[in-house]
Amino acid sequence: MQKDEFNTKIGAIAAAAGSAVGLGNIWRFPYVLGENGGAAFLLVYIGFTLLIAMPVLLTELSIGRMAGTSVIAAYKKLAPRRKWYLIGVGGVICAFFILSFYNIVSGWTLLYAYKSLVGDLQGLSEAEITASFEATSGNTLVCFGWMLAVIAITVFIIAHGVKKGIERYSIVLMPLLLVLIIVICVFSLSLDGAERGLEFMLRPDFSKLTPKAVFAALGQSFFSMSIGMGCMTTYGAYIKKKQNLSKSAISVALIDFFVSFTAGLMIFPCAFAFGINPGSGPGLVFVTLPNIFNQMVMGRVFSILFFALLVIAALTSSISLYEVLTSFFKDHFSISRKRASVFVALATIVTGALCAFSATAFNFFDNFTANVLMPLGALFILLFVPCCLGKEKIRAELEAHGKPMRWFGLYYFLVKFIIPALILLIFVNSIMSWLGINWL
Ligand code: PHE
């Protein structure tokens, strides 16, 4: 990826949004919200997005733009002779763990696009749709095979330099996915019994707000915005100095939130209308949506389009994860980008196989990355600002476009004190509740 080609061909913001919007919004957000009680979780999630995730995103973009390099090199450049580059190493490990289960879910999505195409899901009852997903996700060979197909497509895209092409198309295709979600949403809301889904998502019941739910909301806000592991630092390096970073961070966060929110509005009314348990876990999207498609006019066309576009959304996110990994291997072992991407693919096949084989491994990678590695990564990224950069340097970067940042005081206060304290508090609280100690 060369700096200038990125600048002229596609806005860095669109690329950052492409990384942020993915399975995290449409597959993960609804299932985590469903498992954690609905509306109360949503409120906390919104709070964390505004108060924690957005400032972290802004910080990552600034550090990336300041250094102008990918993540490990960025910390080495900004803090030579110190160990801060370990943030980048943590990011590489995190990207690798995420890809391990992400590729499996992308594989399911590709399989569902195929199933829709050949009409495999047509006319099935709710019970049959659920059974069909269980058979798919419980079959190691099927999961592994479709994961291999997804990895092959990704490596093809990266190795043949069509990545730029994909990014260019995604500028058109991602808004199309959003339009499709909105159409499905309208249909879902018109189903009998949809109100109960709406109520689940929008009327908070605070008794459901357990420490685990708060912890999950924090993790989801990090996962969804691709922060805390260096991805966004890399994108920051491609943003021009004259661009207003705060505006960029707000746009990415808003787009990301909007997609998740509408995905929820699409899933829950439908889940309740068809009597599907909203807490049924990672299969939620795959067991609810085929029911709507079976009732919609031209449902099969909608189904093919939806899953195919979701594969593309997943690809733009996983390509950004590959980017973190390939640039690490390329620089660290002085090998070509092609070799590095093949090496990364082989490594993710091994850990992906583990996730295909065991649901426990899948859940571990899913929860450990979002809930532990990413918030911890963010904690160190934030500490880097007062410890290494200092107030004036970060201010200069945030105001490099030539206008003072009105909210700088608040931003700096959040970054220096509030967010690190909140992350630690949420961690301690969940450890305590896990140990059965009620201390708050
Ligand atoms: N944010 C992406 C999604 O929502 C996942 C992702 C996480 C991508 C971390 C890159 C880095 O699907």
Helix (DSSP H) and strand (DSSP E) numbers for the chain = 23, 0
- What is the full per-residue pLDDT of the chain (440 aa) written as tens digits? 444 445 544 578 888 999 999 999 999 999 999 999 999 999 999 999 999 999 999 999 999 999 998 889 999 999 988 899 999 999 999 999 999 999 999 999 999 999 999 999 999 999 999 999 999 999 999 999 999 999 999 988 887 766 676 777 788 888 999 999 999 999 999 999 999 999 999 999 999 999 999 999 999 999 999 999 999 998 898 889 999 999 999 999 999 999 999 999 999 999 999 999 999 999 999 999 999 999 999 999 999 999 999 999 999 999 999 989 988 888 889 998 888 889 999 999 999 999 999 999 999 999 999 999 999 999 999 999 999 999 999 999 999 999 999 999 999 999 999 999 999 999 998 888 888 887 77
Q: How far apart are CA 110 and CA 76, in angstroms?
A: 39
What would you report as the CA-atom Rg of the chain, rounded to the nearest whole angstrom?
21
Q: From the alpha carbon of 25, which atom of ligand 1 is closest?
A: 4
Centre of ligand 1 from the C-alpha of residue 241, in Å: 25
With a 6 A CB cut-off, is 320 part of the ligand 1 pocket?
yes
The model's pTM:
0.95
Q: Residue 20 CA: which ligand 1 atom is closest? A: 1
Q: b vs e for 308-324, b when ≥16 Cβ sit within 10 Å of the residue's Cβ?
A: bbbbbbbbbbbbbbbbb
Cβ–Cβ < 8 Å for 272, 200 = yes
Atom of ligand 1 nearest to the CA of 314: 12
Confirm or reject: Cβ of 19 under 6 Å from ligand 1: yes
**Span from the CA of 13 to the centroid of ligand 1 (angstroms):** 15
Distance 183 CA to ligand 1 centre (A): 24
Residue 251 CA to ligand 1 center (angstroms) comes to 16
pLDDT of residue 163: 64
**Residue 264 confidence (pLDDT):** 98
Q: Is the CB of 25 under 6 A from ligand 1?
A: yes
pLDDT at residue 433, as a whole number: 84
User: For a pocket test of ligand 1, which of 258, 317, 373 has the largest count of ligand atoms closer than 8 A to its C-beta?
Assistant: 317
| Pairwise CA distance, residues 207 & 229, whole Å | 33
